[in-house]
Amino acid sequence: MSPSNVEEEEVVSDPQSTFNVTADADISRKERLLIFLDESILAPTKILWKDYRARIGTAILLVYLLAGTVGVRLVDQPRASDGPLLQPPFQDTAFILGTDQVGKGIFASLIHSTPPILKMMFAGAVFSTAMAVVWGVVSGYKGGTWDRLMMTVADIVMTIPGLPVIVVLAAVITPENPYFIGLLLSISSWAGFSRSLRSQVLTLRQESYVEASRILGMRNRTIMFKDILPNLMPLIMVHFVTGARGVIFRAIGLYFIGVLPFDSVNWGVMMNLAYQDGAIFDPGKYHWFIAPTVTVLLLSLGLILFGQGMDRIFNPRIRAKHAKHTSDQNTEEL
């Protein structure tokens, strides 16, 4: 055996050799779970709590969510002649917001109108956002023929006048399911945002980390979901909130003008009945029109504040700053 071979064997068998050093970060399954909980739950919660806009927005949305789930079980369904006609607000605990022209409690009507509105808002925002994300990300990443074909479809949808089409479809189909109404109200609102996402993806796909993932042989779906989509989350969240607000205003407006099927337990229909009865001119009926109006505006405000808070939560630098294990690593390095 030659001296060189002996030296090589000594180097390989030496436990202190750099060739035998293993990774120090031998992370167990429990530690990986703790890191996941820290990054995905604890850090966002800390950011949410420190941002007053997010706190207020979350509190408002929780109130509406509780009203639409627990409130409908605690408050009886409003019926005519439950109380005196057009009773002013804050005079009777049984009718805290007063009554309408047939004696139905306005507070009970608002509570029982919340579930269908939330269903419309959720269905419309999810449909609009999901369509825009899939269309924009796939089109921008694939490029070529796929890009031209998908953007042509998006351009065609953008040229369709959304509100007239919704009015015609609602008059022909007369939908009653709140989820279907939400889809109908957002049928064309995804196209413009898909183009915005496409332009962002065209920039992101040239980044070095995306190129590295492509060279390593990762699948396109994995690259789009792991490398590209996280960088688009602030934009996506803003569109989700905007889409939800758009569904609310369109639904209330169409119920107000009588296009969507009449339902007395609905904010838009309540405003319509109050307007027809002269509530905006008679001080004794102001509460009947103001109560659903303030309810709609407060929900819109909650969505805006919540969306602004989500922008910070999806910022990777801010999340890393509030993640405990990341902060500990940075302290050790210093």
Tens digits of residue pLDDT in 133-175: 999 999 998 888 989 999 999 999 988 887 888 888 888 888 8
Q: Across residues 279-305, what is the average pLDDT?
A: 93
Supply the pLDDT for residue 218.
Answer: 85
Supply the pLDDT for residue 151.
Answer: 93
The pLDDT-based confidence of 267 (bands split at 50, 70, 90) is very high
The pLDDT-based confidence of 43 (bands split at 50, 70, 90) is confident
CATH number for the region 41-322 comes to 1.10.3720.10
Q: Given its phi and psi angles, is residue 144 left (phi above 0), alpha (psi -120 to 50 degrees) or beta?
A: left
Of the listed ranges 13-27, 53-67, 128-142, the least confidently predicted one is 13-27
- Out of 26-35, 142-151, 288-297, give the one with best mean pLDDT: 288-297
Whole-number mean pLDDT of the chain? Answer: 83
Percent of the chain at pLDDT exceeding 70: 84
Q: Using CA atoms, how far apart are residues 155 and 152, in angstroms rounded to an integer? A: 5
Inform me whether the pLDDT recorded for 327 exceeds 60.
no
Q: What is the pLDDT of residues 211-231, one digit of tens each?
A: 888 888 888 888 888 888 888
Residues linked to residue 229 through DSSP beta bridges, in sequence order? none
Residue with the larger pLDDT of the pair 8 and 317: 317
Inform me whether the pLDDT recorded for 80 exceeds 90.
no
CA nearest to 147, candidates 207, 220, 201: 201
Inform me whether the pLDDT recorded for 179 exceeds 60.
yes
Q: Rounded to whole angstroms, what are the CA distances from 72 to 25, 40, 107, 109, 304?
A: 51, 32, 11, 10, 25
Q: Using CA atoms, how far apart are residues 330 and 232, in angstroms rounded to an integer? A: 26
Supply the pLDDT for residue 44.
Answer: 73
Inform me whether the pLDDT recorded for 21 exceeds 60.
no
Q: Where are the domains of the chain?
A: 41-322
Supply the pLDDT for residue 217.
Answer: 84
CA dihedral sign of residues 130, 207, 200, 154: negative
